[in-house]
Chain A
Amino acid sequence: MIENIRLSFQGIWSHKLRSVLTMLGIIIGIAAIISIVSTIKGTNEQIKQNLIGAGNNVVQVQLYHTDYDYTYEVGNEGIPAGVPVVSDDVFDAVLALDHVESAALYNRRIDYNNAFYFGNNQLNGCEVYGVDNGYFSTCGFVVRAGRSFVPSDLSAFRPVALVDRDTAKALFEGEDPVGQTIEFNGVALVVVGVVDKDTRFDPVMETVDDYYTYMQQESSGKVFVPKSIWPSLFAYDEPLELAVRADSPEAMSLVGRDAAELMNTGVTNENIVYRAEDTMQTVKDLQDLSNATNQQLIWIASISLLVGGIGVMNIMLVSVTERTREIGLKKALGARKSRILWQFLTEAAVLTSLGGLLGVGAGVGLAELISRITQAPVALSVPFMLLAVVFSMAIGILFGLLPSIQAANLNPIDALRHE
């Protein structure tokens, strides 16, 4: 076998131009498929990253309407009946779940009725959060300026607030927010710091569709107040939401489902229910959509492989005719049919495998080029490249079969006499 492979390389090397031309169909086909697959994979990775964020693995468990797919907004719809405040026991049970790293309960409202004021500046439609410090660590917020909440902020019911960067920009217009006083619903709040997502992950967006896909939950800005002063801004006993951090993106769905189930134990209202947004499911749905469109491209590229295979068969037939005397001689020296068959099959397989390798190289280059030109993300898959080479080899064996059988069945006398 090794001898056959050595002979094949010798043959390919002695007919360089012909070999390259023969391989061209395979090279083009494999290159096309590799670049398409890399682009698909890149797009999928991007979808996943955009939706999950950079390694945050945080699942939000929120109240949803049971009859339609929207969150229950306390700000608009009022405090629901039959939804008790989540008890400490439930919270402990959530923390005890497998794959849970940390969790935090918090209040949240999008308040369209009241605005935040700083001097004459006004910010509407803010998301207001009632939180403790556990929230920031769970969701991956860090303090960019000023300080975070301290335990005494919560215990002493201090009217303090943290703002995120969007709010800081919109409300303070370049002034340092730390130490300033803002007003909300008749309550004066002192801004003690600016917080921001630790790995501020900006989804890559190229179209308006992307914007709606990735940014639908976002609002104009976030303001955080200590959980303890929430009732003074809004009301007592508002239903809580939960942020829970899983230890891996794969565990997010499971953790979200289990946490929601625990929180639903006391809920008697049939119209609303705690539910986790299943990010992984959304990721999968979007990926399936992008796969479906790209899969058709792979089929088209496969046609090139078919054409390449036929080219290989053609050249192998020529090669058999050319080497008729060599085949006759080998048979006269005692080579069995199977040996002649394997010699030519090996040659075809080596030829197409080499083509496959070159095709993978060209495909990687092409994928890089596509990503440079169109900004489309590209992710290379090594197992798929190996598969591509193996597949090229299989093409060689398939299309080399007919010429090889022809060679093996040559009559040695006729073959020796062949001019």
Chain B
Amino acid sequence: MKMLELRDICKTYAQGKLEVPVLRNITLSVEEGEYLAIMGPSGSGKTTLMNIIGCLDSPTSGEYLLAGEDLARQNDKRLSQVRLGSIGFVFQNFYLLPRQSALENVALPLLYAGVRKRQRLEIAHSALERVGLGDRAHFKPTQLSGGQCQRVAIARAIVNDPKVLLADEPTGALDTASGEQIMEIFQRLNDEGVTIVMITHEADIARHAHRTLHLRDGQLVDGPLRPVPAVQEDLEDGSVPGEEAQLP
């Protein structure tokens, strides 16, 4: 069964009178249980593509089906429901709420889903256990390392049992060892049947996926035209490995 299906997706941003095409005729499909990596340099449109897949943005034209449902032109209410129930996000900078404990952060989507408090905390706790942080449930994000923060963020993403896990540079802000840990967790989740779409510009990370697609200037291309050393890409992205980025 096809989990994601994108047909002729175009996205154009208007900058004043100028129309800037960001995505051009993207067509791709992802099977249920697949583990896909999308690679591309900065400005290739990979974040925009992920926003569209994640229902944070709508395409200018084209069709987008998630589990068979056309989501290209849905209202905000329906898209919120899809984000809540079918999609889990993992961001490069974790985006945890700094004043809430790990457990409360993980339980947040359950709050939006209208789960009762007792149950909320139970489910959130088991999600934390799935990423190996059952013993850190009451720590604040400031008391956790970057890798642990990202694992909390993953627990938050899977707490609602989403159909698709979307990860945008999940290891971008982490050192190599923590990054490997994250990849192990992704691998385990995928083995459990979670469909994963991961965006990265590191070939080492993309290697973990079953399939890798390359994005260049808003178009899918067959392979990397010009392999670039990973270290240089890190600097280009402006992020420092191991840096803890949190919400204010």
State the A residues within 8 Å of B (CB): 3, 10, 14, 322-323, 325-326, 329-337, 339, 412-413, 416
Which among B78-86, B139-147, B211-219 touches the partner chain?
Answer: B78-86
Please pick, from B84, B91, B117, the residue contacting A416 in the complex, using a CB distance under 8 A.
B91
- Contact A332/B112 with A325-B247, A413-B51, A413-B57 known, Cβ cut-off 8 Å: no
CA gap between A413 and B81 in the complex, in Å: 17
Question: How far, in whole Å, are A76 and B54 apart by their CA atoms in the complex?
Answer: 101
Given A14-B99, A325-B95, A413-B51, also A334-B112 (CB < 8 A): yes
Whether the pair A329, B247 counts as a contact (CB closer than 8 A) is yes
| In the bound complex, CA of A335 to CA of B99 (Å) | 19
Alpha-carbon separation in the docked complex, A335 to B117 (Å):
17
Q: Are B89 and A332 in contact (CB under 8 A)?
A: yes
Q: How far is the CB of B177 from chain A (nearest CB, A)?
A: 26
* Complex CA distance for A263 and B108, rounded to whole angstroms: 80
Q: Which residue of B lies closest to A339 (CB)?
A: B112
Beyond A323-B248, A325-B247, A326-B247, is A334–B95 a contact (Cβ under 8 Å)? no
A-B contact count (CB 8 A): 61
A413 to B117, CA, bound (A): 29
> Are A334 and B83 in contact, CB atoms less than 8 angstroms apart?
yes
B89 touches A333 (CB 8 A): yes
- Establish whether residues A333 and B84, one from each chain, have CB atoms under 8 Å apart when the complex forms: yes
Q: Given A326-B97, A334-B113, A336-B77, are A412 and B84 also a contact pair (CB < 8 Å)?
A: no
CB-contacts of B51-90 with A (<8 A): 51, 54, 56-57, 76-77, 80-81, 83-85, 89
Q: Which of B56, B76, B109, B111 contacts A413 (CB 8 A)?
A: B56
Question: Ordered nearest first, which 10 A-B pairs have the shortest CB separation?
Answer: A334-B84, A334-B83, A329-B95, A336-B80, A333-B109, A412-B56, A334-B112, A335-B112, A325-B247, A326-B247
A-B contact pairs, 14 of them (CB 8 A): A3-B117, A10-B99, A326-B97, A326-B247, A326-B248, A329-B247, A332-B54, A332-B89, A333-B108, A333-B156, A334-B84, A334-B85, A336-B77, A337-B76
Q: Measured between C-beta atoms, what is the minimum distance from A416 to chain B in Å?
A: 7
A333 to B160, CA, bound (A): 10
CA separation between A336 and B247, bound complex, in Å? 20
Distance, CA A339 to CA B84, complexed state (A): 13
Give, as a whole number of angstroms, the nearest-CB distance from A14 to chain B.
6
Chain B residues with Cβ below 8 Å from A323 are 247-248
* Complex Cα spacing A336 to B77, Å: 7
A interface: dominant SS = helix
Name the B residues within 8 Å of A322 (CB-CB).
248
Q: Which of A14, A333, A339, A416 contacts B83 (CB 8 A)?
A: A333
Name the B residues within 8 Å of A336 (CB-CB): 76-77, 80, 112
Which of the residues A3, A335, A416 comes within 8 Å of B95, measured between beta carbons?
A416
CB-based nearest B residue for A11: B99
Residue of A nearest to B80 (CB): A336
Q: Which residues of A contact B248 (CB under 8 A)?
A: 322-323, 325-326
Instruction: Give A21 to B147 CA distance when docked, in angstroms.
Output: 39
Query: Once bound together, how far apart are the Cα atoms of A14 and B247, in whole Å?
Result: 15
| Interface size, B (range) | 20 to 34
Name B246's closest neighbour in chain A (CB-CB). Answer: A325
Option from A10, A14, A329, A335 in Cβ contact (under 8 Å) with B80: A335
CB distance from B15 to the nearest CB of A (A): 14
Q: Which of B81, B97, B99 contacts A334 (CB 8 A)?
A: B81
In residues 101-128 of chain B, which contact A (Cβ within 8 Å)?
Answer: 108-109, 111-113, 117
Query: 19 extra interchain contacts, Cβ-Cβ under 8 A, other than A330-B112, A331-B83?
Result: A14-B99, A322-B248, A323-B248, A325-B247, A325-B248, A326-B247, A329-B91, A330-B108, A331-B56, A332-B54, A332-B56, A332-B89, A333-B112, A334-B84, A334-B113, A336-B80, A337-B76, A337-B80, A413-B56
Residues of B with C-beta under 8 A to A333: 83-84, 89, 108-109, 112, 156
Q: Which residues of B are found within 8 Å of A3, using beta-carbon distances? A: 111, 117
Chain B CB within 10 A, most for which of A329, A333, A336, A339: A333
Which residues of B have CB within 8 Å of A335?
Answer: 80, 84, 112
How far in angstroms is the closest Cβ of chain B from A350?
A: 16
Q: With both chains docked as a complex, state the minimum distance between the C-beta of A359 and any C-beta of chain B, in angstroms.
A: 27
Query: Could you say which residues of chain A place their CB within 8 Å of the CB of B57?
Result: 413
A325 to B245 Cα, complex, angstroms: 12
Report the minimum CB–CB distance from A276 to chain B (whole Å).
65
- Name which of B51, B111, B113 has the most chain A CB atoms within 10 A of its CB: B111
Cβ-closest chain B residue relative to A334: B84
CA gap between A326 and B109 in the complex, in Å: 13
**A332 and B111 contacting across the interface, CB-CB below 8 Å:** no
User: Distance in Å from the Cβ of A343 to the closest Cβ of chain B?
Assistant: 11
Complex interface: chain B residues within 8 A of A337 (CB): 76-77, 80
Q: Which residue of A lies closest to B153 (CB)?
A: A329
Residue of A nearest to B91 (CB): A416
A27 to B84, CA, bound (A): 40
A332 to B77, CA, bound (A): 12
Docked pose: A334 CA to B54 CA in angstroms:
11
Q: Most chain-B CB neighbours within 10 Å: which of A330, A331, A334, A413?
A: A334
Min CB–CB distance A194 → chain B (angstroms): 75
Nearest-neighbour CB distance to chain B for A317, whole angstroms, equals: 16
- Closest Cβ–Cβ distance, residue B206 to chain A (whole Å): 23
Choice from B76, B81, B83, B85 contacting A332 with Cβ under 8 Å: B83
Q: Using Cβ atoms and an 8 Å threshold, which residues of chain B touch A416?
A: 56, 91, 95
Contacts of B85 in A (CB 8 A): 334
Whose C-beta in chain B lies nearest to the C-beta of A330?
B108
A414 to chain B, nearest CB (A): 10
In the bound complex, what is the Cα–Cα distance between A413 and B57 (angstroms)?
7
- How many angstroms between the C-alpha atoms of A335 and B85 in the bound complex? 11
Residues of B within 8 A of A330 (CB): 108, 112
> Shortest beta-carbon distance, B246 to chain A, in Å?
10
